[in-house]
Amino acid sequence: MKKIKKILIANRGEIAVRIIQAAKELGILTVCIYSKVDRLALHVLRADEAFLLENNGIEPYLDVEQILKISSIANVDAIHPGYGFLSENFEFAKRVVECGFLFIGPTHQAIEMMGDKLRAKDTAINANVPVIPGFEIKNGLDATEIKTAKKLGFPLLIKARAGGGGKGMRIVHSEEELHQQITLAVREAKEAFGNGAVFIEKFIIKPRHIEIQILADNYGNAVHLFERECSIQRRHQKVIEEAPSAVLNAELRKEMGNAAIRLVKACHYSNAGTLEFVIDKDKNFYFLEMNTRLQVEHPVTEFITGLDLVKQQIRIAEGESLGLSQNDIKINGHAIELRVYAEDPKNSFLPDVGKLRDYSAPKGIGVRVDDGYENDMEIPVEYDPLLAKLIVHGKTRHEAISRMKRAISEYEIDGVKNTLEFGNWVMSDQDFCSGNYNTGFISTKIDQFVNEESDKTYSMIAGIATYEFVEKFKTAKINNKPILQSKWRERSK
């Protein structure tokens, strides 16, 4: 067992800040890396040491050899990849270990196995975990594959074999669309991941997106930390998450948790990870994929379990056993997370850039903000538009929703468009409040949000204009005599 004294964080933004916080509480020194764009970023200011990444013709945060060189210069013991960038790159994980550092995450073998969606599906089948029926497209679409696709039944979903984030993912509603959509999916997958392999699955209509958080050590021990509901999505990327899910009962929760543990043990997994599932209208669940890293939405799980997942990751990497049994972990209350993006929800969630002229995060009981920015900082166009994560916790789901609305009302952001207003609207939506929603929530309701907010804006402007007109009319004069000479005072005497 090796005690970690110094960690290099191979990431940026709010997750780098989050890892720095956990490391400091454990008495571990932190080293951060930064691109020229990020020279004044919050993670640079918070770390004990900071090293500039030179731009050598590739994205600096993806420069494996440069990161490893800095790790050697800084004399670190371990590297934490955060999420995104190199976090699920098995070759990076392998190189980290080869260079004598601890990798705070799973083994490179587990990352490689579960990062390939088809291998992950095969592993799930062997572990008796339900998967969505489908098949791989290897050499174009031949007559046999068209026949198989028709047998599955439309609509179908095309997915990239490598990567995630909705890249290379397309819905096909008819046989006529197949060739065109596969061509587009292959092209997009190649551009995003350097791998154009795709496969086809039966598309589950109106699914719920449920994920199970797990922890596993190097000694074969594994536990699940219950579920997160992630069905509020735009472009297959999450905007709002909550834990626990309103759709799961105790029996289904146990069944999904046990399935997750079987799969984790089947791939000899260690450290933190997340298994993603979809649930259909009849509450049948199907394995989608595994994220072999920390998730953006991990704080909601931390709120309901009381566990610090980053600290758990570090301890497991040091060689500690979990020290937890499944019976030790209980659900405490309800938590909701809103991803505060620098995006315009009224304009297809397009990213916005600019300077934070006024930035003030909410506080109070049950409110947590994980952010990577402060007042007067620039929001760069080069990176993900995530400003912060607003997380709330309450004794009940109703209290958590009310707390989220309060926190949003106290959150001040000026300088860039953002998702706060949209988040507040979701918290008031009848379907969301009842727990009756699915992954089509945003696509089917966004026009309603845009129209409602436009009406509010029009009413506010009209109200201001009317007030200003009346105030001016009160003091207006003709021939030095007031136009408005009300007698209400005299009449009331």
- Residue 463 CA to residue 199 CA, distance in Å, equals 55
Q: How many CA atoms lie within 13 A of 398 on its CB side?
A: 1
- Residue among 161, 170, 208, 293 flagged as catalytic: 293
Q: Residue 296 to residues 45, 308, 327, 444: CA-CA distances in angstroms?
A: 22, 14, 26, 25
Is residue 293 part of the annotated active site? The answer reads yes
Residues 317, 4 contacting (CB under 8 angstroms): yes
Which residues are known to be catalytic? 293
